[in-house]
Amino acid sequence: MDKEELRHFLIDSNKAGYAGGEEKKWIKEADGSTTIPFEAGAWRSHDNFFGGEPYGGRIIVFYKNKPFWIMVYYGRIKEGIEINPVYQVLRNALIKMPEDSPFRGPKEYKEGEYIYSNSWEGDLERFSGEEKIIQAENLIYKANYLGGFVDQKRGV
């Protein structure tokens, strides 16, 4: 297994996941969360989140049924802002995930009066970042995320 395989899998799973909008494949869990599963070869991802607004969740990627990579995320829209247009901009930005840093959306994406921005540090092994959406110079959405490789060595 190498980082390039993981990188390609993350891009493919993103296109089939929340950003891709194929909600008919999503699973509503008994605890009120939603799971978006994806599989390709030896790879499998499990994106599970709560929300609505605000929202939070985590994506776990398995390689040969072993946990390999994780990302946790939490975001919210400013009070008083209509939710659906903001989340549509977010989905449109996420589908443009950069291939060299497949965490969330691109560094910048513009759609009408909205500007999505994303900044991060690190690489696939360990990273953290923040995304924002601005409308008419007002910050209306913000999310934070972090993650990286997991379960690479056995310990206590």
Q: Which residue has the tokens 């709560």?
A: 50
Question: pTM of the entire structure?
Answer: 0.90
> Running DSSP on this structure, what letter comes out for residue 144?
E
pLDDT at 112 over 90: yes
**Lookup: tokens for 111:** 């759609």
Query: 3-state DSSP call for residue 120?
Result: strand
- What mean pLDDT do residues 80-102 have? 94
Chain centroid to Cα 114, Å, comes to 19
How many residues make up the chain in this entry? 156
pLDDT recorded at residue 152: 78
- What mean pLDDT do residues 85-103 have? 94
- Identify the helix (H) or strand (E) that includes residue 11: helix 3-16
Question: Which residues, including other chains, have CB under 8 Å from residue 93's CB and lie 6 or more apart?
Answer: 104, 105, 106, 109, 111, 116, 118, 131
Mean pLDDT of the chain: 92
What count of other Cβ atoms lies within 10 Å of the Cβ of residue 151?
13
What is the rounded CA–CA span in Å between residue 103 and residue 71?
8
Model pLDDT for residues 8-18, shown as the tens digit of each residue: 999 999 888 88
